[in-house]
């Protein structure tokens, strides 16, 4: 993500008085997620990243929609915007456009992103603005207590599908890979912290919109959803590459199913995203060359408050209802 | 030795010209009239440059938005021809017209016309249409009109002459600085905007913003009568007021804003609504191009205090924007911040200074300043133009001693090692445009030592039909003759000479001289090939002023002792005293003859060759140290191999009987392979070998330590799900990375540990053995715990 460049004098002065944050500096409130909820691991990875990158809290913002996962900004000691259901992305885009120097993160659920917010999702990918988007995919509407989401598997019995879900689930990876300008598409699982962190860190460093789908456990409503994959490490396929995951030897001993996948290979990325009997974990696709909307659309001239006011007033004047005299 | 030969040897040694004998047609002829229309054989093919497609003229492209700041006319026309005229006979008509148009434009430029490409094009098109038959006129017009639409660039057309070097350098400088100005405007404009927003926000929460007049302004005239602004103001002022900016901070922001708006380094119009503040204040923007290094250097020094102020203002603005200004600490820092605090990175913000030094000779002060500047690393670029490399005094003291020769200055600058150095000729500048750009863009000082070819005293006739004053041919010949070789020294590139120094595109750079062969007819009208080297002696022969140092020898007087200058100098040993060195020249009729040269020319030629050798060494060619070292190394290696071989033989003899051949096999190999080759073979063998099993594992991670009976957690795999910590926060706790560990195994019953292990979805809690044997229900718990051992 973009980092503001300062003059060398400023750099020196800021460095000399720079604060180094600890993980606790990024914590706020006690999370009100259920015990065992996968969101906890995502939060921890994020707080670690903020600490390791020493992100200035005043220049970091978390934007979310509505859902359990969308409570995320409350638990980060930084700026946050807990918005409307499905509307995290357009809010984040507005923030990035006005303040390209901020580090922008988006937390959205499978209902929030893939259902009510699906239109925004498609266009946000196409706009490719420099931000990190985390899709907390628990295959369920958690906050509203157990309704089927677009990613719920066939047969899942929920409040809205008491006799089992009947539709083929939507595959968020395949959808994202199919949208023009997709520049970083990855998948990870909340239960392997090492990979959760590694992918988050790589997404953060990618210039452009990084989309990470995290398979996130909801023990409250779908306790068995990912159990088989957790019990059988061989069903998890790690995508390794010099431009992809780095896997520690210890983890390699547990997760032996590995594929060297070059993330610039879109065709293979789509094949991997379509795997049914295995969970791919890693960077499926990345392309660092795709321009970011905020860079392409950067105005030639600076928008002063005076200039903006003049334009707005001219527009409002068109609609003023003149008081009767 | 014939009389003639003796005369020639005498001429060679003393410069005394043989007596003229007007009756003897075959005698040595030495009058200058004879030499008119002569030129070196090398030039044979270049009598009319306007009909040749080469690097000139060049178009200096207007506007900063083009990626290429300059292009040759030929390259522009090639693009048009490629897209307009299909290959083969179909496109022949269009191709012909376009090439004719190119020739026309080239001839305007060569005849000294000034103008832009669009102007020249229009004129050439009109001329061509006028000159064509009425039947072809329509097709011609259509072709040229369409071609015109494909030209998406415009700019001044320049030929190769005395102004080429300065024009190209200034144009590329301008290109670089314009790009810098755009970046500056963007950056400083953004700072101004953000500072203004801070002040604006401060105003809005201040009492002033709540004055009735201000409130009225915010509502606008249309609805003003509906409000009682006085009452509104009282109401607002009565409510809580927010903290406004401390006075010192506000002042600091205002001062920084003022300095940013009034800077004079770049012409700027930062903002929509703000007209240029600097303009309003009547401030003139600085100029950066000067005609001496002294002036450029002085201007830089004069402006240093202003630069310091601007850098401070930028830093303060940046700090204020992130609220990172630390009172006290930063106050002290800025108080002590002066010229001595500037870092090279700070200077990169500003335009570089350009000294265009065309008029030689220079004063002693100027010479001193050039050296001082080049060693200072300040962002001052010096373009030194040499018009004449063979001024008559070259052979005495003075100009050929350091200082007035650009070539020597460039050598000196390389020695200083603190500046970017480029040496070349005007004729070659188009080829070197990116190197020139690199030198202008590089931080610090740079020297561009360029030979224009415009001052040499070549006769019009000699270069008959070539461009206006023969600059191109003279400049190109100077490079060919090693009189002014091309090189680039980029002191910032890499850590060794190989990375920093490059001889670029000097022809035949591995040899002493450039050499050519020419097909010609002999006396029997048979085709024969003439091989010749082009030396500085050949180059001097083109110069009227040195005519006295050459004597023509007609063919009947050629003797076997005559050798070309190249051969003469190549023979390092042996007695050459009775050899007669000559250069080959051709006359207007295209007939070649030999001209014997005197000792002055030989010495000048030798000197040019020695300087060339030095450059070759810098460029990694024929490096004398390396050669010597290689020979020494080879001897050591030889001796070592012999020893090894000897001991091997002894060993073999002592061991089981082996045929002699086996022993000799490796020796035969080692004797024929040079060490380098041998090493390469070894290396290859190394890579071909499969890596040891498991080598791809980055490191060997420690196996989980053998546990005693204590409970433990695989902490790195913990997903921070709160299961265990919610169950018992005495036993379980989070570490600095928010991952769980067993903080106190005695913090609760064994049951809690077992239940936590069962609840932990990633199954990383290992309960161990119970610590309190009196705990109820132990047998069952122990059994359940066994699943997590
Ligand atoms: C416009 C609107 N429609 C519906 C809702 C009700 N609602 C709240 S959260 C939610 C679904 C959340 O599911 P998901 O995004 O998957 O989040 P999770 O709770 O699973 O993390 C819905 C439908 C709402 N808040 N606003
Ligand atoms: S309902 Fe599910 S997703 Fe929501 S907090 Fe509980 S476990 Fe997490
Ligand atoms: S239960 Fe397991 S994953 Fe959850 S916090 Fe405890 S150790 Fe970590
Ligand atoms: Mg959900």
Measuring CA to CA, how many Å separate B593 from each of B4, B480, B540, B748? 16, 21, 16, 112
Q: Is residue B126 one of the residues assigned to a domain?
A: yes
Q: Is residue B725 one of the residues assigned to a domain?
A: yes
> How many Cβ atoms from other residues are within 10 Å of residue A228's Cβ?
10
* Mean pLDDT (whole number) for B185-213: 88
Residue B425 near residue B450, CB atoms below 8 Å: yes
Same domain, B41 and B67: no
> What is the total count of domains within chain A?
1
- The mean pLDDT value of chain B amounts to 80
* Mean pLDDT (whole number) for B422-449: 92
Q: Which of A226, A224, A223, A248 has its CA nearest to residue A238? A: A248
Same domain, B186 and B91: no
> What is the total count of domains within chain B?
4
> For residue B124, which phi and psi values (nearest 5 degrees)?
-65, -40
> In this predicted model, what pLDDT tens digit does every residue of B633-669 receive, in sequence order?
888 888 888 888 888 888 877 765 444 344 343 333 3
List of chain B residues whose C-beta atoms are within 8 Å of the C-beta of residue A323:
222-223, 226
Interface test with B, best of A6, A10, A190 (most B CBs within 10 A): A10
Q: Tell me which residue has its CA closest to atom 8 in ligand 2.
A: A37
The residue ranking higher by pLDDT, A118 or B531, is A118
> How many Cβ atoms from other residues are within 10 Å of residue B469's Cβ?
22
Scanning A184-223 for CB atoms below 8 A from B yields 190-194, 196, 217, 219
* Mean pLDDT (whole number) for B350-369: 86
What is the percent of chain B with per-residue pLDDT over 70, rounded to a whole number? 81
Angle at A176 between CA A171 and CA A180, to 5 degrees: 145
Of B142, B159, B176, the one marking the end of a domain is B159
Same domain, B153 and B172: no
Q: Is residue B105 one of the residues assigned to a domain?
A: yes
> For residue A92, which phi and psi values (nearest 5 degrees)?
-60, -40
The residue ranking higher by pLDDT, B189 or B238, is B189
What is the percent of chain B with per-residue pLDDT over 90, rounded to a whole number? 36
* Mean pLDDT (whole number) for B373-394: 83
pLDDT at B37: 59
List of chain A residues whose C-beta atoms are within 8 Å of the C-beta of residue B762:
191, 230
> In this predicted model, what pLDDT tens digit does every residue of B202-235 receive, in sequence order?
988 888 888 998 888 888 777 788 899 999 988 8
Nearest-CA distance B311 → chain A (Å): 8
Q: Coil, strand, or helix at residue A271?
A: helix
- Cβ contact (<8 Å) for A7 and B272? no
List of chain A residues whose C-beta atoms are within 8 Å of the C-beta of residue B310:
none
- Chains A, B: CB pairs < 8 Å: 138
Nearest-CA distance A264 → chain B (Å): 23
Same domain, B181 and B280: yes
pLDDT at B3: 46
- Give the C-alpha separation, B720 to B710, whole Å: 22
- DSSP bridge partners of B290: B355
| pLDDT category of residue B38 using cuts at 50, 70 and 90 | low
Of B328, B346, B364, the one marking the end of a domain is B346
The single-letter DSSP state of residue A261 is -
Q: Coil, strand, or helix at residue A217?
A: coil
- Mutual orientation of helices B92-110 and B134-149 as an angle, nearest 10°? 80
Residue B471 near residue B387, CB atoms below 8 Å: no
Residue B522 has pLDDT above 90, yes or no: no
- Give the C-alpha separation, B456 to B483, whole Å: 13
Q: Is residue A321 one of the residues assigned to a domain?
A: no
pLDDT at B529: 80
Same domain, B115 and B20: no
Interface test with B, best of A2, A4, A6, A9 (most B CBs within 10 A): A9
| pLDDT category of residue B469 using cuts at 50, 70 and 90 | very low
> In this predicted model, what pLDDT tens digit does every residue of B765-783 receive, in sequence order?
999 999 999 999 999 999 9
A75, two tokens: 């638990």
Helix boundaries (H) for A74-189: 88-98, 110-111, 118-127, 172-177
Ligand 2 center–CA A225 separation, angstroms: 13
Which ligand has an atom closest to residue B739 CA? 3
B545, two tokens: 């002023």
Contacts of B196 (CB under 8 A, 6+ apart): A304, A305, B257
- Does any ligand 1 atom lie closer than 6 A to the CB of residue A67? yes
Nearest-CA distance A290 → chain B (Å): 20
Q: Which of A193, A304, A320 sits opposite B273 (nearest CB)?
A: A304
Residue appearing with tokens 């094949």: A271
pLDDT at A310: 83
pLDDT at B573: 57
- Cβ contact (<8 Å) for B720 and A10? no
Contacts of B186 (CB under 8 A, 6+ apart): none
List of chain B residues whose C-beta atoms are within 8 Å of the C-beta of residue A191:
719, 761-762
- Tell me whether the omega of the peptide bond preceding residue B310 falls within 30 degrees of 0, making it cis: no
Residue appearing with tokens 């010749």: B532
Contacts of B456 (CB under 8 A, 6+ apart): B387, B388, B389, B390, B470, B474, B542, B543
> How many Cβ atoms from other residues are within 10 Å of residue B745's Cβ?
17
Of B625, B657, B672, the one marking the end of a domain is B625
First to last CA, chain B: 110
Ligand 4 center–CA A124 separation, angstroms: 20
Question: Considering only alpha carbons, which residue of chain B is nearest residue A227?
Answer: B761
Q: Is residue B52 one of the residues assigned to a domain?
A: no
Q: Is residue B460 one of the residues assigned to a domain?
A: no
What is the domain-level CATH number for residue B727? 3.30.70.20
Residue B612 near residue B601, CB atoms below 8 Å: no
Same domain, B254 and B123: no
Interface test with A, best of B186, B699, B716, B761 (most A CBs within 10 A): B761
Q: Is residue B421 one of the residues assigned to a domain?
A: no
Report yes or no: A9 at the B interface, CB cutoff 8 Å.
yes
Please tell me which of B251-265, B481-495, B523-537 the model is most confident about, judged by mean pLDDT: B251-265
Which ligand has an atom closest to residue B731 CA? 3
- DSSP bridge partners of A239: A259
pLDDT at B615: 82
- Give the C-alpha separation, A12 to B605, whole Å: 56
Q: Is residue B134 one of the residues assigned to a domain?
A: yes
What is the domain-level CATH number for residue A308? 3.40.50.970
Same domain, B154 and B93: yes
Q: Coil, strand, or helix at residue B363?
A: coil
Q: Coil, strand, or helix at residue B581?
A: strand
Same domain, B153 and B186: no
Residue B376 near residue B445, CB atoms below 8 Å: yes
- Give the C-alpha separation, A68 to A146, whole Å: 12
Measuring CA to CA, how many Å separate A314 from each of A320, A321, B225? 10, 14, 21
- Cβ contact (<8 Å) for B193 and A17? no
Residue B29 has pLDDT above 60, yes or no: no
Scanning A114-133 for CB atoms below 8 A from B yields none
The single-letter DSSP state of residue B116 is B
- Residues of the domain holding B118: 57-159
List of chain A residues whose C-beta atoms are within 8 Å of the C-beta of residue B272:
301-304, 306-307
* Mean pLDDT (whole number) for B533-549: 81
- Cβ contact (<8 Å) for B759 and A40? no
pLDDT at B99: 94
pLDDT at A103: 97
Q: Which parts of chain A register pLDDT below 70?
A: 1-4, 300-302, 305, 320-325
Q: Which pairs count as long-range contacts for B327-336, CB under 8 Å and 24+ apart, including other chains?
A: B327/B248, B329/A16, B329/A17, B330/A13, B333/A13
- Ligand 2 mutation target, pool A74, A151, A220, most atoms within 8 A of CB: A220
Q: Is the dihedral of CA A226, A227, A233, A235 positive or negative?
A: negative
Measuring CA to CA, how many Å separate B86 from each of A265, B77, B128, B295, B588? 38, 14, 22, 54, 39
> In this predicted model, what pLDDT tens digit does every residue of B691-745 receive, in sequence order?
334 333 344 444 445 456 899 999 999 999 999 999 999 999 999 999 999 999 9
Same domain, B101 and B173: no
The number of residues in chain B equals: 789
Residue B685 has pLDDT above 60, yes or no: no
Report yes or no: A10 at the B interface, CB cutoff 8 Å.
yes
Torsion of CA B64, B68, B69, B73, to 10 degrees: -130
Same domain, B183 and B142: no
Same domain, B567 and B716: no
- Residues of the domain holding A88: 33-225+261-313
Q: Is residue B374 one of the residues assigned to a domain?
A: no
B491, two tokens: 């002191």
pLDDT at A322: 62
The residue ranking higher by pLDDT, B603 or B704, is B603
Q: Coil, strand, or helix at residue A285?
A: strand
Same domain, B183 and B249: yes
First to last CA, chain A: 56
Angle at B506 between CA B463 and CA B397, to 5 degrees: 70
- Cβ contact (<8 Å) for B272 and A56? no
Nearest-CA distance A191 → chain B (Å): 6
pLDDT at B639: 86
Residue B523 near residue B565, CB atoms below 8 Å: no
Q: Is residue A323 one of the residues assigned to a domain?
A: no
- Does any ligand 2 atom lie closer than 6 A to the CB of residue A60? no
Pairing of strands B501-502, B514-521: unpaired
């Amino acid at each position: 993500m973009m980092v503001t460049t300062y003059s060398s004098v400023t750099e020196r002065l800021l460095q000399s008085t720079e604060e180094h944050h600890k993980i606790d500096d990024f914590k706020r409130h006690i999370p009100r997620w259920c015990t065992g909820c996968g969101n906890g691991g995502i939060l921890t990875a994020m707080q670690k990243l903020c600490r390791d990158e020493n992100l200035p809290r005043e220049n970091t913002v978390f934007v979310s929609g509505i859902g359990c996962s969308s409570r995320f900004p409350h638990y980060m000691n930084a700026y946050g915007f807990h918005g409307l259901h499905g509307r995290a992305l357009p809010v984040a885009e507005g923030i990035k456009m006005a303040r390209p120097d901020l580090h922008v993160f988006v937390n959205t659920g499978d209902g929030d992103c893939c259902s009510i917010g699906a239109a925004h999702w498609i266009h946000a990918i196409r706009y490719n603005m420099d931000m990190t988007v985390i899709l907390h995919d628990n295959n369920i509407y958690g906050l509203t207590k157990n309704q089927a989401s677009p990613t719920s598997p066939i047969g899942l019995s929920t409040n809205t599908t008491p006799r089992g879900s009947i539709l083929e689930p939507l595959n968020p990876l395949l959808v994202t890979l199919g949208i023009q300008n997709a520049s970083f598409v990855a998948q990870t699982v909340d239960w392997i912290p090492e990979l959760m962190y590694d992918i988050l860190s790589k997404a953060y460093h990618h210039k452009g919109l990084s989309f990470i789908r995290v398979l996130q456990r909801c023990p409250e409503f779908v306790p068995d959803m990912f159990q088989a994959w957790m019990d059988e490490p061989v069903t998890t396929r790690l995508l390794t590459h010099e431009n992809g995951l780095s896997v520690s030897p210890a983890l390699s001993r547990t997760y032996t199913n590995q594929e060297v996948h070059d993330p610039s290979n879109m065709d293979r990325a789509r094949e991997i995203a379509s795997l049914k009997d295995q969970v791919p974990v890693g960077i499926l696709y990345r392309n660092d060359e795709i321009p970011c909307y905020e860079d392409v659309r950067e105005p030639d001239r600076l928008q002063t408050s005076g200039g903006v006011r003049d334009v707005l007033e001219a527009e409002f004047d068109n609609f003023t209802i003149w008081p009767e005299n | 030795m014939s009389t003639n030969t003796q005369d020639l040897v005498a001429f060679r040694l003393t410069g005394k010209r043989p007596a003229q004998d007007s009756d003897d047609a075959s005698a040595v002829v030495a009058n200058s009239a004879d030499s008119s229309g002569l030129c070196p054989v090398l030039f044979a093919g270049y009598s009319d440059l306007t009909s040749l497609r080469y690097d000139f003229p060049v178009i200096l492209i207007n506007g900063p938005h083009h990626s290429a700041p300059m292009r040759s006319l030929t390259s522009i026309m090639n693009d048009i021809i490629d897209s307009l005229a299909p290959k083969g006979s179909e496109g022949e008509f269009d191709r012909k017209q376009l090439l004719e148009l190119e020739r026309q434009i080239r001839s305007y430029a060569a005849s000294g016309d000034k103008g832009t490409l669009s102007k020249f094009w229009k004129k050439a098109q009109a001329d061509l249409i006028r000159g064509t038959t009425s039947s072809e006129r329509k097709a011609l017009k259509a072709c040229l009109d369409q071609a015109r639409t494909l030209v998406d660039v415009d700019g001044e057309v320049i030929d190769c002459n005395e102004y080429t070097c300065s024009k190209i350098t200034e144009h590329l400088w301008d290109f670089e600085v314009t790009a810098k100005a755009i970046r500056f405007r963007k950056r400083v404009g953004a700072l101004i905007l953000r500072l203004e927003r801070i002040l604006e926000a401060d105003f809005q929460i201040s009492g002033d913003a709540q004055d009735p007049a201000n409130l009225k302004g915010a509502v606008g005239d249309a609805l003003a009568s509906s409000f009682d602004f006085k009452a509104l103001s009282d109401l607002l002022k009565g409510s809580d007021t927010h903290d406004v900016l401390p006075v010192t901070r506000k002042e600091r922001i205002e001062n920084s804003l003022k300095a940013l708006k009034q800077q004079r380094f770049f012409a700027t119009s930062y903002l929509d609504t703000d007209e240029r503040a600097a303009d309003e204040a009547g401030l003139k923007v600085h100029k950066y191009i000067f005609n001496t290094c002294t002036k450029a250097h002085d201007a830089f020094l004069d402006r240093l205090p202003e630069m310091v102020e601007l850098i401070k203002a930028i830093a303060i603005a940046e700090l204020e924007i992130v609220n990172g200004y630390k009172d006290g600490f930063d106050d002290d820092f800025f108080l002590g911040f002066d010229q001595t605090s500037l870092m090279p990175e700070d200077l990169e913000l500003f335009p570089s200074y350009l000294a265009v030094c065309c008029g030689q000779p220079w004063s002693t002060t100027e010479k001193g300043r050039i050296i001082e500047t080049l060693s200072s690393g300040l962002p001052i670029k010096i373009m030194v133009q040499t018009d004449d490399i063979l001024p008559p005094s070259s052979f005495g003291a003075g100009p050929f001693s350091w200082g007035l020769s650009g070539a020597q200055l460039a050598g000196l600058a390389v020695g200083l090692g603190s500046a970017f150095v480029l040496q070349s000729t005007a004729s070659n500048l188009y080829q070197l445009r990116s190197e020139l750009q690199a030198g202008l863009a590089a931080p610090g000082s740079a020297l561009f030592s360029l030979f224009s070819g415009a001052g040499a005293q070549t006769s019009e006739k000699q270069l008959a039909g070539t461009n206006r004053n023969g600059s191109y041919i003279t400049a190109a010949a100077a490079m060919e003759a090693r009189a002014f070789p091309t090189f680039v020294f980029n002191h910032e590139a890499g850590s060794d000479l190989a990375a920093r120094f490059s001889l670029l595109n000097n022809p035949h750079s591995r040899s002493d001289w450039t050499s050519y062969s020419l097909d010609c007819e002999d006396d029997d009208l048979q085709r024969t090939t003439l091989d010749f080297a082009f030396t500085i002696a050949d180059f001097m022969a083109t110069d009227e002023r040195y005519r006295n140092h050459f004597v023509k020898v007609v063919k009947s007087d050629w003797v076997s002792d005559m050798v070309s200058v190249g051969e003469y100098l190549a023979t390092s040993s042996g007695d050459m005293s009775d050899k007669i060195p000559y250069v080959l020249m051709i006359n207007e009729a295209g007939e070649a003859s030999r001209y014997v040269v005197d000792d002055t020319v030989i010495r000048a030629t030798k000197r040019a060759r020695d300087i060339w050798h030095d450059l070759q060494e810098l460029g990694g060619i024929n490096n004398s140290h390396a050669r010597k070292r290689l020979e020494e190394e080879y001897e050591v290696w030889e001796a070592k191999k012999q020893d090894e071989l000897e001991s091997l033989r002894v060993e073999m003899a002592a061991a089981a009987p082996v045929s002699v051949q086996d022993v000799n096999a490796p020796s035969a190999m080692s004797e024929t392979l040079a060490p380098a080759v041998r090493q390469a073979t070894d290396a290859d063998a190394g890579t071909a070998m499969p890596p040891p099993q498991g080598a791809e594992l980055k490191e060997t991670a420690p196996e989980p330590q053998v546990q005693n009976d204590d409970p433990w957690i695989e902490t790195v795999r913990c997903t921070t799900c709160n299961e265990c910590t919610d169950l018992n926060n005495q036993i379980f706790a989070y570490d600095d990375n928010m991952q769980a560990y067993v903080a106190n195994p005695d913090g609760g019953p064994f049951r809690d540990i077992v239940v936590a292990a069962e609840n932990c979805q990633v199954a990383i809690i290992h309960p161990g053995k119970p610590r309190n044997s009196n705990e109820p229900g132990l047998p069952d718990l122990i059994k359940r715990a066994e699943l997590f051992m």
